[in-house]
Chain A
């Protein structure tokens, strides 16, 4: 999609610099001239929204670290200090804690969009896998961050999650002790979690660069799921078309974000996390953050510790194999009548697992969790491979321009005309 840049700076100084380090050409090629399919809908704005969230999290996070103390006797108090005594501290903390949730809202929409429109299929497999890696890093970062306020849920959540590693045969206990830096979650754990929570976002930023790079090599997928054939007819330049559309979407998303920060800042949190961590008192319910709940439900659906942990990690790892599990040659669900039904069933399955993850694992809840877990894996291992064979897709438009034409019932004009 993007070859060597034809960008020529206007000023002599710019040309001098560009011939030595073509960074302006890189930016111009990536964010100005870069051709984007003209039929993208607003589900494609979540890449920009995620970039905004990453930056928002890093900025609020760095300022918060200037006031936070990663020490078991002081951490909880330092968070209260931020809330009470630091100028705009309440804003920084609520923006950061709700920002994590908004980040996950956006990434889930982004992932389901990829799933619906088949964005993981050739030639975008590496792009998709890089996305799965970003998602994994986000999960780790979110978990590490949730321990830092050192409330009851921080402590017991950390205890439960790190105990997963004891399920590893033979070396499990040793590995867990090594992770903790002791024989239980304690001060060394908090210290290293803080260090890693600061590190991982920059690793995310690094993989995001690779993700965007890979995207700009293969080009964006689009709702029709057909490749760009004629750059003039099928695409529009990133600036101003995608820039303004993404900006509008980001600001709309900021309205949602602001609503949570200013009016329901504790809605997505757990009241128990306003109780300082106490290793001697286990909360009645240990519930992870909402964005982990589907996986928590899968973990508890399996009646064996090792099996549960394996299923839980497997449920995320399987995403990386999606490009090869889906055998259909057609990308977009718009032209796959059966896949579309299974896609929405899968969305409901994930929401259902999320609900069950917050319920006690007993009776009907556990039966439901097992059924949904079976469907979750069945979707990837059975349904997707078979659909490609048995499904008859609807005719796919020959070009993106044709898809736009069919939708608008009018002629496609070249914006340059």
Chain B
């Protein structure tokens, strides 16, 4: 354990102090691959909001496919009925929660399994990371904030444009997830991914056409599944996005008016000073 720590420590120090040779090699390896395509997202831009139907479809993909390995443990099941989310009803969420088995203790302090409530977090799939790694080789990451934890470099000068009004590009994560799920382009190698740094991904191709049943007539394709689940994961990572953008608009309108009034007051006060 200690030697492991000191090895990774040494790696970090050499990486930072001398050169980032290893990491840049890694980055270059990834860099040779294509950069994810910038998709159109309903939640992008100043007036962006989540597409409820899309989030519901995305949740379905998560539940039927991803959740076999990936947990979503920082969310409560009841969050699915929150404002600014997929818009499930209280009743739907209650019924859904009851389908999960939650570890708990009874009145005598004995460990039990009970049906879930909306106030329960999505249960963890494995007791800990080691248990997950023992099954999968590498622990599948929790997906609660994955849409904000994954990104890609846009390079100079585009990364500078990304902060500007009109661009305000913040969807690196969903674009990367969407690209990754469509990046299994070698049919004979299910662990080869065009967009994964180094191209060797531990997760074999998870989605295939017609795998998840959609009831709203949306196409049952990998392309559509990946788009929907990426949107769902963005909501999972940033559930207050709609509230944030709405508040921001009010704040900006107020500040612009306030600044305008102050500007004219300033002009009047200074009129006799120069």
Main secondary structure of the interface of A (DSSP, over half): helix
Residue pair B144, A80 in contact (C-beta under 8 Å): yes
Residue pair B248, A258 in contact (C-beta under 8 Å): yes
Across the two chains, which residue of chain A brings its CB closest to B245?
Answer: A262
Stretch in B34-42, B51-59, B255-263 with 4+ CB within 8 Å of A: B255-263
Tell me, rounded to whole Å, the shortest Cβ–Cβ distance linking B238 to chain A: 8
Tell me, rounded to whole Å, the shortest Cβ–Cβ distance linking A13 to chain B: 31
Contacts of A316 on B, CB cut-off 8 Å? none
Tell me, rounded to whole Å, the shortest Cβ–Cβ distance linking A257 to chain B: 9
Expressed in whole angstroms, the Cα–Cα distance for A38 and B269 within the complex equals: 13
**Contact of A251 with B by CB under 8 A:** yes
Expressed in whole angstroms, the Cα–Cα distance for A265 and B241 within the complex equals: 10
Expressed in whole angstroms, the Cα–Cα distance for A335 and B243 within the complex equals: 51
Stretch in B19-27, B98-106, B107-115, B221-229 with 4+ CB within 8 Å of A: B19-27
Q: A271 with B150: in contact, given A248-B263, A255-B256 (CB under 8 Å)?
A: yes
- B272's partner among A163, A408, A415 (CB-CB below 8 A) is A415
- B9's partner among A184, A240, A260 (CB-CB below 8 A) is A184
Contacts of A277-307 to chain B: CB distance below 8 A = 279-286, 299-300, 303, 305
Contacts of A159 on B, CB cut-off 8 Å? 9, 12-13
- A264's partner among B17, B21, B163, B263 (CB-CB below 8 A) is B163
Contacts of B270 on A, CB cut-off 8 Å? 241, 244-245
Q: A251 with B262: in contact, given A77-B74, A80-B145, A280-B4 (CB under 8 Å)?
A: yes
Residue pair A282, B15 in contact (C-beta under 8 Å): yes
Expressed in whole angstroms, the Cα–Cα distance for A177 and B206 within the complex equals: 45
Expressed in whole angstroms, the Cα–Cα distance for A265 and B244 within the complex equals: 10
Expressed in whole angstroms, the Cα–Cα distance for A315 and B196 within the complex equals: 39
Residue pair A255, B255 in contact (C-beta under 8 Å): yes
- B149's partner among A91, A274, A299, A361 (CB-CB below 8 A) is A274
Residue pair A271, B20 in contact (C-beta under 8 Å): no
Residue pair A262, B252 in contact (C-beta under 8 Å): yes
Expressed in whole angstroms, the Cα–Cα distance for A252 and B26 within the complex equals: 42
Across the two chains, which residue of chain B brings its CB closest to A281?
Answer: B8
Q: A255 with B252: in contact, given A262-B245, A266-B148, A267-B170 (CB under 8 Å)?
A: yes
Binary A-proximity of B240-256 (CB < 8 A = 1, otherwise 0): 10011101110110011
**Contact of A108 with B by CB under 8 A:** no
**Contact of B186 with A by CB under 8 A:** no
- B74's partner among A84, A272, A299 (CB-CB below 8 A) is A84
Contacts of B273 on A, CB cut-off 8 Å? 38, 236, 241, 413, 415
Across the two chains, which residue of chain A brings its CB closest to B29?
Answer: A284
**Contact of B65 with A by CB under 8 A:** no
Contacts of B5 on A, CB cut-off 8 Å? 184, 279-280
Residue pair A284, B148 in contact (C-beta under 8 Å): no
**Contact of A33 with B by CB under 8 A:** no
Residue pair A90, B244 in contact (C-beta under 8 Å): yes
Residue pair A252, B259 in contact (C-beta under 8 Å): yes
Across the two chains, which residue of chain A brings its CB closest to B45?
Answer: A263
**Contact of A59 with B by CB under 8 A:** no
Across the two chains, which residue of chain B brings its CB closest to A151?
Answer: B149
Residue pair B16, A286 in contact (C-beta under 8 Å): yes
Residue pair B247, A408 in contact (C-beta under 8 Å): no
- A163's partner among B13, B24, B245, B249 (CB-CB below 8 A) is B13
Across the two chains, which residue of chain B brings its CB closest to A260?
Answer: B163
**Contact of B172 with A by CB under 8 A:** yes
Residue pair A263, B248 in contact (C-beta under 8 Å): yes
**Contact of A111 with B by CB under 8 A:** no
Across the two chains, which residue of chain B brings its CB closest to A159?
Answer: B12
Residue pair A360, B9 in contact (C-beta under 8 Å): no
**Contact of A261 with B by CB under 8 A:** yes
Residue pair A248, B266 in contact (C-beta under 8 Å): yes
- Count residues of A near B (Cβ-Cβ below 8 Å): 64
Residue pair B173, A271 in contact (C-beta under 8 Å): yes
Expressed in whole angstroms, the Cα–Cα distance for A360 and B23 within the complex equals: 8
- B24's partner among A263, A275, A360, A412 (CB-CB below 8 A) is A360
Tell me, rounded to whole Å, the shortest Cβ–Cβ distance linking A38 to chain B: 6
Across the two chains, which residue of chain A brings its CB closest to B21?
Answer: A362
Q: A362 with B24: in contact, given A156-B12, A274-B148 (CB under 8 Å)?
A: yes
Q: A285 with B27: in contact, given A252-B259, A262-B251 (CB under 8 Å)?
A: yes
Expressed in whole angstroms, the Cα–Cα distance for A309 and B266 within the complex equals: 47
Residue pair A300, B4 in contact (C-beta under 8 Å): no
Tell me, rounded to whole Å, the shortest Cβ–Cβ distance linking B80 to chain A: 13
Residue pair A360, B27 in contact (C-beta under 8 Å): yes
Across the two chains, which residue of chain B brings its CB closest to A240?
Answer: B269
Contacts of A160 on B, CB cut-off 8 Å? 12-13, 16-17
Across the two chains, which residue of chain B brings its CB closest to A411?
Answer: B274
Expressed in whole angstroms, the Cα–Cα distance for A404 and B8 within the complex equals: 61
- A248's partner among B4, B144, B259 (CB-CB below 8 A) is B259
Contacts of A251 on B, CB cut-off 8 Å? 255, 258-259, 262
Residue pair B15, A263 in contact (C-beta under 8 Å): no
15 additional contacts (CB under 8 A) given A252-B259, A263-B245: A84-B239, A183-B2, A241-B269, A245-B270, A248-B266, A262-B248, A262-B251, A262-B252, A263-B46, A265-B244, A267-B162, A282-B11, A283-B23, A412-B274, A415-B272
Q: Which residues of B contact A (CB under 8 A)?
A: 2, 4-6, 8-9, 11-13, 15-21, 23-24, 26-27, 46, 74-75, 79, 141, 144-146, 148-151, 156, 162-163, 165, 168, 170, 172-173, 197, 237, 239-240, 243-245, 247-249, 251-252, 255-256, 258-259, 262-263, 265-266, 269-270, 272-274
Instruction: List 30 interface pairs A-B (beta carbons < 8 Å), by A numbering.
Output: A38-B274, A84-B79, A84-B239, A163-B17, A184-B6, A241-B270, A248-B259, A251-B258, A255-B256, A259-B248, A260-B163, A262-B244, A262-B252, A265-B244, A267-B170, A272-B149, A274-B146, A275-B149, A279-B5, A282-B15, A284-B26, A284-B197, A285-B20, A300-B16, A303-B18, A360-B19, A361-B20, A408-B274, A413-B273, A417-B272
